[in-house]
Amino acid sequence: MTIHPVKDMPTLTVEETDDLCRIVPAGAWTIHESAAMEAQLAELKLPDGVRPVIDFSQITTLDTAGAWLLHRFRGDLDYRGVRVDLENLRPSHRVLLGEVEKHHPPPWKPERRPASLVRILETTGREVVEIGNDVRSVLHIVGSLVSVLSGVFLRPRSLRLPSIANQFDRTCIGAVPIILMMSFLIGAIISQQGGFYLRQFGAEVYVVDLAGVLVLRELGVILTAIMVAGRSGSAFTAEIGSMKMREEIDALHVIGLRVTEVLILPRLLALILAMPVLTFLSNIAALFGAGLVSWFYLDMAPRVFLDLMQVAVTIDTLMVGLVKAPFMALIIGLVASVEGMKVGGSAESLGKHTTLSVVKAIFMVIVVDGLFAIFFSSIGI
């Protein structure tokens, strides 16, 4: 590394006249002294009401770093509305400043594309292609899971039970408090709102039917699935995506392990086991909230509430919600795994696909719930 003598150390002086402020950089303005140059420019205070001029006559050596610092200093003044002139530029200095100016990034301008039929069709086509790619990725993981499960049946010891237990603890036991609190509040709101409107017709007793059927058939499982998608689904995507960013996925391939067997299968099995448990607890909490509000708001004794609940709901009503739970868990796990495997090498990509994982999982959960509703209605349940 070249060490400059003391006389070539960069300095910055200001000479003031009546209407002119002459800024005189001197010495070697090179990358070796960039810290000192930047500090001097940052500490420089210019008087108001005078025209600044940068005099290059005292600069002994100028490289790209020095030219960039002076160019940035001039640009900052221009941005504040102060025009800066340059004097005594050598031809080499002029060329260097010109090159720095050429490579200065242009100001960002938002892309304005007028709405048109062609643009709408193009966007629609791109989204259709993206949906097709997602379906293909899901089918690829499903096929890999079938292959892994067939191997588990032949070699049961290959199933990673500690990993499944760890994931079950995180997805189920860790989610119990928030699921209970959310379901309790939802049940209480349903009971209060239903009682408020049904009381006008003297039919507040039907609040029990409203809360029981609505919670056990629909709201219990779908709200639980939405919470699980936002809590566990996003965590699955972030975990797999961060491993892909750190090339740990590639390391698993190198040592001969299958990503589906090590990462995806334990999470899916834990989620499939956790969803019915969480749904059942959600139903209990929601009905408890509905019963509590009915007691205090509608003056309906708990014994009466329980008797009416036995008449209003059947075992089929309970099973309708519980049957949906494993399928919704499978969808949430597959969507989270696919989005995690699509993460690129940046934090922006990780955040984008984590968000997409939650949005797609919630959308698919609602679609599947609608399909189940049509199916159960068609068979008379």
Domains delineated in the chain: 6-102 (3.30.750.24), 131-378 (no CATH)
Does residue 142 carry a pLDDT above 90? no
* pLDDT for residue 92 is more than 90: no
pLDDT at 1: 40
Q: Give the Cα separation of 35 and 19 in Å (integer).
A: 31
Mean pLDDT of 96-101: 78
Of 226, 235, 229, 230, residue with least CA distance to 350 = 235
Block residue for tokens 């996003």: 234
Q: What is the mean pLDDT of the chain?
A: 83
> What is the reported pTM?
0.67
Collapse the DSSP code of 267 into the 3-class scheme (helix H, G, I; strand E, B; otherwise coil) and give the result.
helix
- For residue 97, give the nearest of 110, 115, 84, 107 by alpha carbon: 84
Residue pair 65/30 in contact (Cβ under 8 Å)? The answer is yes
Say which range, 28-37, 43-52, 342-351, has the weakest mean pLDDT. Answer: 43-52
Average pLDDT over residues 84-109: 75
More confident residue, 236 or 9: 236
User: Is 80 exceeded by the pLDDT of residue 109?
Assistant: no
Q: What confidence category does residue 6 fall into, taking pLDDT thresholds of 50, 70 and 90?
A: very low
